[in-house]
Amino acid sequence: MSAPRQTPARPALDRVRRTAREVFGRDELRPGQAEASTSLLEGHDVLLVAPTGAGKSLTYQVPGLLLDGPCVVVSPLIALQQDQVGGLVEAGVRAARLSSAETEKQREEVLVDLEAGELDFVFLSPEQLAVDEVRHRIAAARPGLVAVDEAHCVSAWGHDFRPDYFRLGELIDDLGERPARPRVVAMTATAAPPVREDVTERLHLREPRTVVTDFARENLSFRVVPVADAAAQQAAVLEAADAEGCGIVYCRTRPTTEEYAELLAGRGRRVAAYHAGLPQRRRAETHEAFLAGELDVVVATSAFGMGIDKPDVRWVVHAQAPESPDTYYQEAGRAGRDGEKALATLVHRPEDHSLGRFFAPAVPKRAEVARVLALGDDVDAATAQEETGLSRRKAQRIRNLAGLAVETGRGTGVDAVIELAEAHRSLEKSRVEMMRAYAETSRCREEQLLAYLGASLDERCGRCDTCLDGRADEVEEPPADSPYELQQRVVHPEFGAGVVSDLEADRLTVLFDDVGYRTLALALVEQEELLTPAG
């Protein structure tokens, strides 16, 4: 559960403001930055949930300079790490990166400088932190703070769970014995309340304060363009991408990015495709050209995601529905980070949701699970791959599922792993349906998105298409005497335990632990007494 909002103590707040002004040139702090930074200085770990563009980096940069010892920043993308290092060096701060992009000699120089106290910040991926020698040498430098970026990747129930993040809590514990363990700030742009709780537990946050900023983006407008077929879809995407200023077109598949890039180039746009199938050098060149203003449009898969810090993106178009509202809000939020007006457009064809269901994680075969479990817990990833004949990623996923099954009380063995994998797949499929609900709603678009994320609006946004055309005005508000409330834990006779994530006049949505999101008719729920408060 979130800790109650705290009033920052003056001495800590003064230090934060002075450092932000003198080192980073920030005369004013954005919402959440002061509370998160001072909480770290006062000895708490922090989970910071703030939208894309809200300035999460400053909440580790300032405490990282004020706390004793270097700051270790765990970040999933090399490009993002380099951007952050460059920004800190430009501000006169000593920072470096440990990654596969450096030579062995360069990596050794970074570790030597860290041990000698000549670095204030070191950036690395979870995979690098998992290397025993690297972790032990970082521990010897006695870091004062660990910042975990994209922290939702820690949670197996998050929309972008990454196996490499699974052990991050114990890896961080290994950086110092209590009470000398470094403080931790975990940051994410999207995390529904159950995911926040999972992140807090998985990272072993101590005396944590959860800081959730306002997710409403007053300069960003949302709209959905419904289309009947592929030809109409293509025409709508091209029309939306003809908007003034620079923008991003998101697609679900690599061939589609290439197709739209070619079509937009034919319309005179400076454009490039970006996806994981392209060489790393070409992707880096596209990233740099976009940041430098040498491209009008990047047509990309979700691979062009975390770390895109370009403030003047005027629009984002989704050519196809993404797999979840989490992903959509994060990608759409790359528009308008400068505070100027921006537009997020989803071109919606109902058939596209089948892609989301197709990409939902597969349930491993029983024989595969049995082979992995037979190896025991002490086998490394490379040996597991060799002994089982499975890919390293699949073998590691099964091992992670096995560990999570034990932690969540499902037990051990093949049945427990299969049961958990089925629950995870069900959750991902339910997110697809929540994305469909967003595309087809008559509610205020921003209200719908924020409800999914566990936030709310005081009033409708007034900027989205449903507000502007009057449809949102016709949607009834939830009854004041509803027997249910947001974030209430409930139990369903078939779906099990869950938490109420959204309330409407005639329905409510529950995120169930085992089957994901389900939207239930309120009248039927009350008539059949389908939901009871969890004990």
Rounded Cα gap, residues 140 and 177, in angstroms:
11
Banded model confidence at residue 403, pLDDT cuts 50, 70, 90: confident
Mean pLDDT computed over 204-222: 88
CA–CA gap between residue 305 and residue 326 (Å, rounded): 13
**Residue 466 pLDDT:** 96
Residues pairing with 74 in the sheet: 124, 148
> Is 8's pLDDT higher than 60?
no
The whole-number pLDDT of residue 86 equals 83
Name the 3-class secondary structure at 512: strand
Residue with the bigger pLDDT between 475 and 366: it is 366
343 versus 508: the higher-pLDDT residue is 343
Residue-wise pLDDT tens digits, 295-330: 999 999 987 866 577 889 999 999 999 988 888 988
The confidence score (pLDDT) of residue 387 equals: 85
Instruction: Look up residue 269 and give its two tokens.
Output: 């746009």
CATH 3.40.50.300 fits 10-212, yes or no: yes
Decide if pLDDT at 174 tops 70. Answer: yes
Q: What is the CA radius of gyration of the chain?
A: 23
State the pairing for strand pair 46-49/209-212: parallel
- Quote the CA–CA distance of 271 and 269 in Å, as a whole number: 6
**Residues 151, 188 contacting (CB under 8 angstroms):** yes
Q: What count of other Cβ atoms lies within 10 Å of the Cβ of residue 393? A: 12
Q: Could you tell me which of 435, 423, 434, 437 has the C-alpha nearest to residue 495?
A: 423
24 phi, psi to nearest 5 deg: -110, 0
The identity of residue 431, as a single letter, is R
As a whole number, mean pLDDT of residues 475-496 equals 84
Paired residues of 343 in beta bridges: 221, 315
Tokens linked to 348: 């919606």
Give me the mean pLDDT over the 11-32 stretch: 87
**3 pLDDT above the threshold of 50:** no
Token pair for 321: 């529905």
Return the pLDDT at 1. Answer: 35
Q: What is the mean pLDDT of residues 74-98?
A: 84
179 upstream amide cis, omega within 30 of 0:
yes
Structure tokens at 492: 């369903």
Q: Which residue has the higher pLDDT, 209 or 382?
A: 209
Domains 220-357 and 476-535 share a fold: no
Looking at residue 2, the DSSP 8-state letter turns out to be P
The listed range with the strongest mean pLDDT (75-79, 291-295, 408-412) is: 291-295
- Tokens encoding 419: 């049961």
Other CB atoms closer than 10 Å to residue 520's CB: what's the count? 17
CA distances from 168 to 164, 195, 374 (A): 8, 16, 24
> What average pLDDT score do residues 483-507 get?
87
pLDDT at residue 159 tops 80: no
Q: What is the mean pLDDT of residues 278-290?
A: 89
Report pLDDT digits (tens) over 414-430. 999 998 888 888 888 88
Q: How far apart are CA 35 and CA 16, in angstroms?
A: 10
Hey, what are 307's tokens? 């770390």
Question: In 351-444, which ranges are continuous DSSP H helix?
Answer: 353-359, 366-373, 381-388, 392-407, 414-440
Residues 152 and 129: their CA atoms lie apart, in Å, by 18
Average pLDDT over residues 104-114: 92
Rounded Cα distance between 261 and 273, Å, is 6
- In this prediction, residue 124 carries a pLDDT of 92
Q: How far apart are CA 308 and CA 283, in angstroms?
A: 12
The residue that leads in pLDDT, 40 or 399, is 40
- CB proximity list for 397: less than 8 A, separation 6 or greater: 163, 361, 364
At residue 54, the pLDDT reads 67
Range with the poorest average pLDDT among 142-151, 193-202, 319-328, 520-529: 193-202
Q: Which of 294, 340, 300, 305 is nearest to 317 (CA)?
A: 300
The reported pLDDT for the residue numbered 271 is: 96
pLDDT bin (cut points 50, 70, 90) of residue 56 is: confident
Q: To 10 degrees, what angle do helices 132-140 and 104-115 make?
A: 30
Q: In what order do the strands lie in the sheet with 95-98?
A: 95-98, 121-124, 71-74, 145-148, 183-188, 46-49, 209-212
Q: Which residue has the tokens 């997020």?
A: 344
Specify the pLDDT at position 114: 94
The domain limits of the chain are 10-212, 220-357, 360-426, 476-535
What is the reported pLDDT for 38?
A: 93
Return the percentage of the chain with pLDDT > 90, whole number.
42
Residue 373 has pLDDT above 60, yes or no: yes
Q: Which of 486, 494, 528 is nearest to 512 (CA)?
A: 494
Q: Distances in Å between the alpha carbon of 203 and those of 67, 194, 271, 278? A: 20, 14, 40, 33
- DSSP single-letter state for residue 240: H
Neighbours of 140 (CB within 10 A): 13
The confidence band for 196, taking pLDDT boundaries of 50, 70 and 90, is confident
Q: Please identify which residue in the block is written with the tokens 């949670």.
A: 155
Mean pLDDT of the chain: 87
User: What percentage of the chain carries pLDDT values higher than 70?
Assistant: 92
The mean-pLDDT minimum among 8-12, 72-76, 383-387 falls in 8-12
pLDDT at 2: 38
- Both structure tokens of 525: 């729920």
Pairwise CA distance, residues 227 & 440, whole Å? 12
What average pLDDT score do residues 437-460 get? 86
CATH code for 476-535?
Answer: 2.30.30.140
Name the DSSP class of 118. -
Query: What is residue 4's predicted lDDT score, i.e. its pLDDT?
Result: 41
Task: Provide CATH code, domain 220-357.
Answer: 3.40.50.300
Q: What is the mean pLDDT of residues 478-506?
A: 85
pLDDT of the residue at 481 = 76
CA 511 to chain centre: 18
Dist. CA 167–CA 171, nearest whole Å: 6
What's residue 220's pLDDT?
A: 94
